[in-house]
A and B are shown apart, each in its own frame.
Chain A
Amino acid sequence: MDEDEIRREYAILERSGRDPKAFSVLYEKYFNRIFNFIYRQIDDEDVTADLCSQTFLNVLNHSKRYQFRGVPVSAWFYKIASNEVNKYYRKRNRTRVFSIEEVRIRELFEQANDGWDEELIERLMNYLDELPTDMLEVLQLRFFEDKDFHEIAFILDITESGAKMRTYRALDRLRKKFNLKIKYDGTK
């Protein structure tokens, strides 16, 4: 996405403050992505629908607040969605769930089919179970949402080097423990 396009989307967002109908373009474009992003952290369609709707409502209600800070408009959406998810878990005091599609896991690791068995998947799940939430959040944004480190840092309110460090640490452990080749190392 080039800077002109990013600025165009900010202009739409700014216009939404006066004319809520203008927002439909952004809503249609990003609804599925934000829904999937939330769903991976909730694993319940109805709750996800509520949080997704709340995310877009928050954007629309405060559309004048969002200024261009070198990241696309969608980064604001992810940031708000992430806050909604955190709020949800804080209120209910539940164990946080990360629901990952098996297909995406297979995509992530360039693993030969013969070496990819149920036991390996189970060990991998156990390993991911033990990772701290902040590392899982970074991994999710990096590998399932294809976000660059600049955007990840913005979404999670951390520094860019912090985002890189968390990713590399998690990947390094994965490589050592499972002897896996990982598709993207993320140098963007």
Chain B
Amino acid sequence: MERNKIRLRKKIISPSNIDQYRDYTRLVERHERYMKLRTLYRFLIYFAITTILLVLLLVAIWRVKEEQYRKVHGPQSTVRSERQ
């Protein structure tokens, strides 16, 4: 079982003491930084996905063209190009 430690406090932490940790401006700044990073991160993800799709598309086009070329020039044309 998880162990806990109970401490008894004589003093209640005062609201004025808590106030020194209250910083709304910094919170908003951190939030804006987070939003910028999130936008950048999303952009990178979309960019990566688009690049991958584009590469796949180019490979598919190249293979179709290769196939068509083989049909027109016969199987030897590929062999000849491989020897070269």
Contact = CB atoms under 8 A, between A and B. Distances in A.
Report whether over half of chain B's contact residues are helix, strand or loop; otherwise say mixed. Answer: mixed
Given A24-B24, A53-B27, A57-B30, A121 B2 contact: no
Contacts of B3: 95-96
Contacts of A45: 13, 17, 21
B76 interface: no
Interface residues of A, number: 40
A129 B7 CA distance: 9
Contacts of A136: 4
B18 interface: yes
Contacts of A104: 12
A24 B21 CA distance: 15
Interface in B1-51: 1-13, 15, 17-18, 21-24, 26-28, 30-32, 34-35
Contacts of B9: 43, 99-102
Contact of B1 (A27, A57, A132): A132
Interface in A65-121: 95-105, 121
Nearest to A24: B24
A57 B31 contact: yes
A20 interface: yes
Contacts of A143: none
Contact of B7 (A28, A97, A121): A97
Nearest to B38: A61
A60 to B, nearest CB: 5
A43 B32 contact: no
Given A57-B30, A60-B27, A102-B10, A31 B2 contact: no
A121 B9 CA distance: 12
A20 B6 contact: no
A99 to B, nearest CB: 4
A20 B27 CA distance: 10
A23 to B, nearest CB: 8
B70 to A, nearest CB: 54
Given A45-B21, A52-B21, A57-B30, A32 B8 contact: no
Interface of B: 1-13, 15, 17-18, 21-24, 26-28, 30-32, 34-35
Which 10 A-B residue pairings sit nearest by Cβ, starting from the closest?
A49-B21, A128-B6, A99-B7, A96-B4, A60-B31, A97-B5, A101-B9, A35-B18, A20-B28, A129-B6
17 contacts: A23-B28, A24-B24, A27-B22, A32-B15, A32-B18, A35-B13, A43-B7, A45-B13, A53-B27, A57-B34, A96-B2, A96-B4, A98-B5, A100-B6, A101-B10, A132-B1, A136-B4
